[in-house]
Amino acid sequence: MKTLLAIFAHPDDESFGIGATLAKYAHEGAAVYYLCGTRGESGTVDPALMRGYTDVGELRSAELECASRELGLAGVRYLGFRDSGMPGSPDNRHPNSLFSASVDAVAERIAGHIQELNPGVVITHDKFGGYGHPDHIKLHHATLRAYEMLYGISLNNDGDWTPGNNAQPSTVNQQSTIVNRQLPIPRLYVTAFPKGMLKLAVRLLPLAGQNPRQFGRNKDIDLVTMSTWVVPVTARVRVSQYAGHKERASACHISQQPVTRQGNLIARLLFRRAAGWESFSRLYPPVKAGERLERDLFGA
């Protein structure tokens, strides 16, 4: 059976971003797992939604379980860290926050799940953290570090993979410096949202009275800066058939209403126009010059 492991930071990252891709592979017979870095403890939540829940993390975990059923996931796992909030938030300094944890500490936990599940494909956040969230950025670096621990693969400053035997000893398996070297190395992708639509949104949102530098549910997303971040698209997966699964999964996260549900016509139209495809950038194996755009993350 094909296995896909998505590694993201919060309950809702799996649905709002690449939910249709996860649903596609799950419904085509792959075992799709979600490894969630935190339980989404930070941020504001409507008090009415807290009835029956002891804290925000419990509420958002329940929302994730709902979403996982809609997407057809084989399982949801947690890394066990606390949501750090956006940059500069007091939650950054919480001793159990993902932001406070060392990259190696996070990587060791990720490596343990990769060892157990042996996925053919791993997907995580891009190096910018999508919209600059520190938890997203930490999981990006920790996932790369887990590959180094497990397979002896290092990432240089240009973002290119180079194989080698320069991994540090891994505490995941004290008997071996490089763990599972005999097993195939999972294909590694990061999410890659095409910036053309984003740049158009930056131009159009002010016409609707919205500030593109203060966007999103908590007005803490800077679309102008995001539009300058380049993540090359190397794979586009056709997902129009699974858009309904993504929409229903996203609806499960009622405490974290996405941009498309905020009543802004321009935002809804832009996101709907891009809904038929989801884009990725492959980090491993390295993309060769002149290589065609992929349509299948498993390399078929």
Q: Is the dihedral of CA 113, 71, 125, 122 positive or negative?
A: positive
CATH number of 3-193+232-261+276-284: 3.40.50.10320
For residue 295, the 8-state DSSP code is S
CB atoms within 10 A of CB 289: 4
Measured CA to CA, the distance from residue 200 to residue 152 in angstroms comes to 41
- Helix/strand/coil for 237: strand
pLDDT tens, residue by residue, 116-129? 999 999 999 999 99
Non-local CB neighbours of 114 within 8 Å, separated by 6+ positions: 5, 122, 146, 150, 186
User: What's the pLDDT score for residue 269?
Assistant: 58
Q: HEC string of 26-56?
A: HHCCCEEEEEECCCCCCCCCCHHHHCCCCCH
Measured CA to CA, the distance from residue 60 to residue 64 in angstroms comes to 6
Sequence spans of domains, the chain: 3-193+232-261+276-284
Is 225:193 a contact under the CB 8 Å cutoff? no
User: What's the pLDDT score for residue 160?
Assistant: 46
User: What's the pLDDT score for residue 196?
Assistant: 83
pLDDT tens for the chain, residues 1 to 300 = 899 999 999 999 999 999 999 999 999 999 999 999 999 999 888 999 999 999 999 999 999 999 999 999 999 999 999 999 888 888 898 999 999 999 999 999 999 999 999 999 999 999 999 999 999 999 999 999 999 999 998 865 444 444 433 333 334 444 434 555 567 899 999 999 888 878 888 998 888 788 989 887 677 888 899 889 989 999 999 999 999 999 999 999 999 874 444 445 555 555 565 678 999 999 999 999 999 999 999 997
For residue 280, the 8-state DSSP code is E
User: What's the pLDDT score for residue 258?
Assistant: 47
